[in-house]
Structure formats: C-alpha cells, structure tokens
C-alpha cells in the first residue's frame, strides 16, 4: 500500500525548523507588545462574499486563487487568502470602533491560495500582520513601517530595501485609469493574456504583472504620482518626511500597486536582495475604504503582512537553528533507577528547569552520546545504586567534571542551581 503524502503546495514544518518560527513569533510579540498592539485571532474560513467585496472580484486572488467550497448548509465558504478582511469583519461585527480611539491589532496564522508552489511560496502559507484602524494620520503609515523594520532588524536581516508609493484616493485612481488605458491600448496585442483582460476591467493590475514583455511596456507608462490630488500628495509627503525623521531609507516605485483592490494612498514593500525573484518579505499599505465597503462606519486604516515562509528562508541563510537552552539531560538504567529518573525529571520541570529524559532504556554509553548531542549543560545519571541512595551523578558536559549530589539538594536549592547552570552556559 502506498504511503499518504502531504498535498502539493503544503509542507510540514519539522522540529529542526520550528525554532526559526518560534524565534520570529517571540520577537514580533515582544516588539508589538511594546508598541501597544493587541493580538486578534479570526477564523480560518469565512463567507466567500467577505473576500469578493473586500479584496475585489477583479483581482487574481479572488478570480483564480481562492479555495472555495459549499458547506452542508449550501453556503459558499472560502479558506482565508489573507488576514486583513477577516480582521476588518471582526472589527465591525464586535463594534470595536465604539471603544473610541485607535485600534492597534496584530495576528498570525495560515492563509490559503491556489498558486504555483515554489521556494518561499506555498498554497498553505503563513502570515504575521498588523492593522491600525481609526487613524488617517500619516504617522500611522510610518509607524507600521517602522515596526516591520524593527522586527526584521531584530532578527538580524540585512540587505533590505523599502519600496514606497502612493496609489492615491479612489478619485485619483479613476483619473489615472484613463491616462493608463490610453497609454496601454496601442500595446494591447503585445500584453500577456491576463493583462489584455485587465485592460478593461482593472488596468492598474497590469502594473503588477510578472510577464517580462508587459513589464517592459509598463516601464514607460504614466506615473500615478503625477495624478495625485493636493490632499493625497500632502499625505504622501508627510509619510516620506516621517520615515526620514525615523532614519528609514526608502525609494519611490510608482509601479508598486500591490495585488489587492482595497489599497488607498500609501503602498509599500520591504524587499530582500537575498531572496531572488520572490524578493518581498513584507507588504502593505493604507485601506481607508475597506471598513465602510464591508458595512462598517467610515474608518481609516493601514497595515502590513510578513510572509513567514520567505522570512524563515532568509533566517536559515544567515543564522544557525535557534536552540532551546536545555538544563539537564537525564539518563538512567535499572529497574529502580528508571522510575526514579521519571520522578526526578518531573520534579525538576516543576522547579522551572528545562529537562530532557532519555526513555530509550539503552546502554549508558548510547544514552551519554545522546546527552552530548542534546545541548544540555549537565547530564544527570541514575543507576540503581543512585536510586537506592537518593543521589544523582551530575556530569557537566562542558568540562567533563562529575560529582554526586543528593536529589533533594537539586530541588531544595533550585535558585542556586539555576544560577550555576546559567554560569556554565555562559
């Protein structure tokens, strides 16, 4: 019988990789907590209409990439392809706007898009995202960019570039649309098939095409920055000034429109030169019309999402796997020693020590080899003689020094042992 394997576009995150994910999550949680962001957790599936209305029916995400099915109640259900629409739905449903002020929210979890799998891009993928709802202030745009930058820098990433653009208001885009269509129409037969279709439905998406010939044609297209209203230009100028004040470098990319229809004004991407073609690590922008589009009050908002698969690929290139600091590795052999070792390991864990208990029952020599590979500071050794005497042999794996200690002393002097282990680790 053939074995069952993971579906194409999904992958297991194995223990040797999980440390990177935990490191990212812990770093983000710390930085976001210090900036007064609160975590929100929304369902993995939603009504399909949420994404059709929120993301836009003319986008590739809605038109080609969503995992949509009918449930037993004959309702159209979609696995979430991104996080913002669900957060906004929750914001409206639970009247978070009624609390007043600005809501700073963050989330993490799996998303789903039917795309061609490649390095850093899967059909089930994970995002870490933030949403700031309730502020039109350009400083909010700069704040979320600064926080994303802080997270990536805290993880040790270098060779990062911030691409910045403004897609203006809806009125700005409508005025720009005409100029863009006038420019592209003579090239219609040279555009890729998707872009030919978008020419009448959603021409701004053509600027996001990955087709080489279409990209070359779009290179000389009119710039949306030349079609911003005074208010939009003023907002964009203040965003740029705020980033400059924060010491965050950026470059203007007037072709940057992102792939979702809800964006207004600021759009940005943080890219890495170390990722090849899939260069974007973080992307986001302002979406002042989305809350009202989904039935809520007029609410300005801005946010971003980081792709965790791409981010962990980068981290693996520059960092060794982060290892949990293990205090003790417990080895035992004998009818009386093995139950005593289980009890000792349990008591040490309750005393806040990090303990791995060897359950193999193999010879001491094999257990010692596993202890050496474990990364533990010390190996605790119990044979039947130690079990009978209520002692344990403590072998310091760094120096090889070994001493007999009463088991009770390990527990009674927990704080002293924590300090001793920390000193040995240093």
Predicted confidence (pLDDT) per residue in 329-350, tens digit: 999 999 999 999 999 999 999 9
Q: Is the pLDDT of residue 260 over 80?
A: no
The share of the chain scoring above pLDDT 90, in percent, equals: 66
- Predicted confidence band at 14 (pLDDT cuts at 50, 70, 90)? very high
Same-domain check for residues 375 and 273? no
Judge whether 122 and 225 are in contact, CB under 8 Å: no
Q: Is residue 73 part of a domain?
A: yes
Q: Is residue 186 part of a domain?
A: no
Q: Is residue 184 part of a domain?
A: no
Q: Which helix (H) or strand (E) holds 330?
A: strand 328-333
- Predicted confidence band at 73 (pLDDT cuts at 50, 70, 90)? very high
Same-domain check for residues 81 and 100? yes
Same-domain check for residues 249 and 120? yes
Q: Is residue 133 part of a domain?
A: yes
Same-domain check for residues 391 and 333? yes
The share of the chain scoring above pLDDT 70, in percent, equals: 98
Same-domain check for residues 237 and 292? yes
Measuring CA to CA, how many Å separate 135 from each of 145, 203, 287? 15, 29, 11
Mean pLDDT for 381-385 is 96
- Predicted confidence band at 275 (pLDDT cuts at 50, 70, 90)? low
C-alpha 79/C-alpha 47 separation (Å) is 9
C-alpha 37/C-alpha 140 separation (Å) is 13
C-alpha 28/C-alpha 34 separation (Å) is 10
Mean pLDDT for 27-52 is 96
CATH number, residue 338: 3.40.50.800
Same-domain check for residues 310 and 339? no
Question: Structural domain of residue 340, as residue ranges?
Answer: 328-425
Q: Is residue 296 part of a domain?
A: yes
- Predicted confidence band at 225 (pLDDT cuts at 50, 70, 90)? very high
CATH number, residue 121: 3.30.930.10
Q: Is residue 217 part of a domain?
A: no
Domain stops at, among 262, 292, 318: 318
Domain stops at, among 318, 353, 378: 318
Q: Is residue 65 part of a domain?
A: yes
Domain stops at, among 277, 293, 318: 318
Domain count, the chain: 2
pLDDT recorded at residue 108 = 97
pLDDT recorded at residue 173 = 86
Same-domain check for residues 286 and 382? no
Low-confidence winner among 190-204, 325-339, 372-386 (lowest mean pLDDT) = 190-204
Mean pLDDT of the chain: 91
Low-confidence winner among 15-29, 203-217, 284-298 (lowest mean pLDDT) = 203-217
- Predicted confidence band at 221 (pLDDT cuts at 50, 70, 90)? confident
């Amino acid at each position: 019988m053939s074995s069952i394997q993971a579906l194409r576009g999904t992958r297991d995150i194995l223990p040797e990789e999980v440390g990177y994910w935990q490191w990212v999550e812990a770093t983000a949680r710390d930085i976001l907590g210090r900036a007064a962001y609160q975590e929100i957790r929304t369902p993995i599936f939603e009504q399909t209409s949420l994404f059709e209305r929120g993301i836009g029916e003319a986008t590739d995400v809605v038109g080609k990439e969503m995992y949509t099915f009918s449930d037993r109640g004959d309702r159209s259900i979609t696995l979430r392809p991104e996080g913002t629409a669900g957060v906004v739905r929750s914001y409206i449903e639970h009247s978070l706007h009624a609390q007043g002020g600005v809501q700073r929210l963050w989330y993490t979890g799996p998303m789903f898009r039917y795309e061609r799998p490649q390095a850093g891009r899967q059909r089930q993928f994970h995002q870490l995202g933030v949403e700031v709802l309730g502020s039109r202030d350009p400083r909010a745009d700069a704040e979320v960019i600064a926080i994303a930058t802080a997270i990536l820098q805290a993880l040790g990433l270098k060779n990062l570039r911030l691409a910045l653009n403004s897609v203006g208001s809806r009125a700005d885009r409508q005025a720009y649309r005409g100029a863009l269509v006038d420019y592209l129409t003579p090239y219609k037969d040279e555009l890729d098939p998707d872009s030919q279709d978008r020419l009448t439905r959603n021409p701004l998406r053509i600027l996001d095409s990955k087709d080489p010939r279409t990209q070359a044609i779009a290179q000389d297209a009119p710039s949306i920055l030349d079609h911003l209203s005074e208010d939009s230009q003023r907002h964009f100028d203040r965003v740029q000034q705020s980033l400059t004040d924060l010491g965050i470098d950026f470059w203007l990319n007037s072709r940057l429109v992102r792939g979702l229809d809800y964006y207004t004004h600021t759009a940005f991407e943080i890219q890495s030169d170390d990722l090849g073609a899939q260069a974007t690590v973080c992307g986001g922008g302002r979406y002042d019309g989305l809350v009202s589009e989904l039935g809520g009050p007029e609410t300005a908002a801005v946010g971003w999402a980081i792709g965790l698969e791409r981010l962990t690929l980068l981290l693996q290139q520059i960092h060794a796997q982060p290892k949990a600091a293990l205090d003790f590795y417990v080895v035992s052999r004998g009818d009386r020693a093995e139950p005593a070792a289980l009890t000792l390991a349990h008591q040490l864990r309750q005393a806040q020590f990090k303990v791995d208990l060897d359950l193999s029952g193999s010879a001491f020599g094999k257990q010692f080899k596993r202890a050496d590979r474990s990364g533990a500071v010390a190996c605790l050794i119990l044979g039947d003689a130690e079990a009978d005497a209520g002692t344990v042999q403590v072998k310091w794996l760094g120096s090889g020094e070994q001493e007999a200690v009463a088991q009770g002393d390990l527990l009674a002097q927990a704080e002293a042992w924590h300090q001793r282990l920390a000193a040995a680790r240093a």
